Chains A and B, each alone.
Chain A
Amino acid sequence: MEKISKSAKLYLALVFIVLYAPILYLIFYSFNSGDAMNNFESFTWEHYADVFSDTRLIMILINTVIVALLSALLATIIGVFGSIGIVYMRNKSIRNSILSLNNVLIVSPDVVIGASFLILFTMVGVKLGFASVLMSHIAFSIPIVVLMVLPKLQEMNSSLIDAAADLGATRRDIFTRVIIPFIKPGIFAGFFMALTYSLDDFAVTFFVTGNGFSTLSVEIYSMARTGVTLTINALSGIIFFVTLILVVGYYFISQRGKNPAGMGGRK
């Protein structure tokens, strides 16, 4: 790796401080025995104990994670097939219009999407709750997945497929052994993007929650009137560390997988 200059290092450090300072500030006060984020009284684990004794909060957290995982998974599956369909579409003008429609969904405001879903669901008679939240999360995640997978597909040299066909691969073989391994980084990127989008989405979820089903973002928002408690700081701290552990864990696993035998996308 090339050496980076001192000023570049300083700049990088500054950027990271700006990015992480609010999170660390929030976590710091989760250990405050006082009631607010203004002066630090003394160290306590009380707020962490509160998180685990509040079953409602835990259930909301679990709901949030289930919706995020399931919607990201389904959106990724749908999005991957969709992108393959788009890339191999013969008619250029139809392909372009589908791509534009996909992009329109990405740039349209969440409030508009949320309100339309609310109207749609109540019109069709879908009960607001788990199903409605899951469906809307899948819907707004698909365009993101398509956007992540499409460049990988376009990058792929079409002679790879021709070569595979010449060597006697069936359509299924081509799909599972050529296309999917090649676009795998895009698939994972799409999945994780969809996951984070779903985890922190407020605007859409706000419209379609109901019947005792709620997610973390909506719950925290509704505390506006009386003020967010430090329990939320503690919960955010826990989520932050779990994410950190997952990322570090993923890093080590992928490092270990990088031994010479595991070259290429074939495994």
Chain B
Amino acid sequence: MKDIINAIVSIIIVCVLLFVANDYLDKSSGKAGSDTVTVYNWGEYIDPDLIKQFEEESGYRVVYETFDSNEAMMTKIEQGGTSYDIAVPSEYAIEKMKKNHLLLPIDHSKIPNLKNIDPYFLDLSFDPKNEYSLPYFWGTVGIVYNPSLLDGQTFDSWEALWDPSLKGQVLLVDGAREVIGMGLNSLGYSLNSTDDKELQEASAKLKKLTPNVKAIIGDEVTQLMVNGEAPVALTWSGQAADMMSENDELDYAVPEEGSNLWFDNMVIPKTAANIDGAHAFINFMLGAEVAAQNADYVGYSTPNKAAMGLLDEEVTSNERFYPTEEMRDNLEVYNDLGPKMLGKYNELFLKFKMGKN
């Protein structure tokens, strides 16, 4: 009995010590209020030094939390029970959250740094007049490839993926919108198409791609491409940038027929407890130097025009990650298609996958 009591006492002592240590590390642990800003962002999607800098400059304390998918983030916000002041969803998620009344409007008069943003990235279809969201990072969907494993093919056109010489070599991301979108784009249709005939055509076209597909996978794409185990993959520009920084043989292309242009924007969820703090944070993140430092750390493309001047010339002149406006004209933003149409996309994608596996 005595050693059990000893064990209980020592566990409690260890816990108390850990509590004290935690409190020492951060006085703000777990408490949301008027002097804290709770930020809900993707994992590894901010330079941690910037959080410290914001805390010093504004006097707010930042509670930082991370999520891994738009859906997970939306569920947390919809359920309540938390008080996130800032979240960073992608465009289709913003449209959905707006419909479900999960967002608070942003007061533009409190965001003087808004002037830094390239007008091209404002007033977009998913959030007209940027009433609820302001841009954080953006990118494209395209093809990352390894020229040393190919014989001189380039991927200026989606059609190149259908080349018989690529039998069993192509990797695809496991996303219905991305893959069906590719099918639609390759036929010259919009990737937001709701036309049944166009969708059927796209799915028939995708069926012909089946012999070329090596696998339909998630994040493992990065490892496979970096290790040179596959020559070509459909992926997002940010992920492609990651791969290219680890293996400089790789290259990235956005096909001419068009592709997806995506955005991750900052929003203020309706659960926010500190609306002033949220505005201060958004304004801080849109500052030229801050945005440049963040883009440098994260590696995605910044919509911040003023920050572009501060970034390495080599990065910003790289048309693969900062396509010119002309090239962007071919790109399309995802619309929220509604649950019924999305179900259709998922069904077609599932059929395509089953034909494969």
Contact = CB atoms under 8 A, between A and B. Distances in A.
B81 A224 contact: no
18 contacts: A62-B25, A69-B11, A122-B79, A128-B76, A180-B4, A206-B72, A211-B30, A211-B63, A211-B83, A212-B31, A212-B36, A219-B43, A221-B68, A222-B68, A225-B45, A225-B219, A226-B43, A226-B45
Contacts of B218: 224
A66 interface: yes
Nearest to B298: A226
A87 interface: no
B291 interface: no
Interface of A: 35-38, 54-56, 58-59, 62-63, 65-66, 69-70, 73, 118-119, 121-122, 125-130, 132, 176-177, 180-181, 184, 187, 191, 206, 209-214, 219, 221-227, 229, 267
A127 B81 contact: yes
Nearest to A231: B44
**Chain B: interface residue count, which band?**
35 or more
B82 interface: yes
B14 interface: yes
B150 interface: no
Contact of B1 (A62, A132, A181, A226): A181
A224 B18 contact: no
Interface stretch (B109-117, B221-229, B304-312, B322-330): B221-229
B4 A184 contact: yes
A240 B63 CA distance: 28
B245 A56 contact: no
Interface of B: 1-4, 7-8, 11-12, 14-15, 18-19, 21-22, 25-26, 28-32, 36, 38, 42-45, 48, 63-68, 72, 76, 79-83, 218-219, 222-223, 226-227, 238, 242, 245-246, 298
A219 B67 CA distance: 8
Contacts of B238: 226
A212 B30 contact: yes
Contact of A36 (B15, B81, B83, B246): B246
Given A229-B44, A267-B2, A212 B67 contact: no
In the A-B complex, the 5 residue pairs with the closest CB atoms: A212-B63, A222-B43, A210-B82, A223-B43, A222-B66
Q: Is the interface of A mostly helix, strand, loop or mixed?
A: helix
A6 B82 CA distance: 59
B246 A267 contact: no
Contact of B81 (A35, A56, A184, A210): A210
Contacts of B12: 73
Nearest to B223: A38
Given A56-B64, A122-B79, A224 B25 contact: no
Contacts of A176: 1
B295 to A, nearest CB: 14
A215 B64 CA distance: 13
Contact of A212 (B7, B64, B222, B245): B64
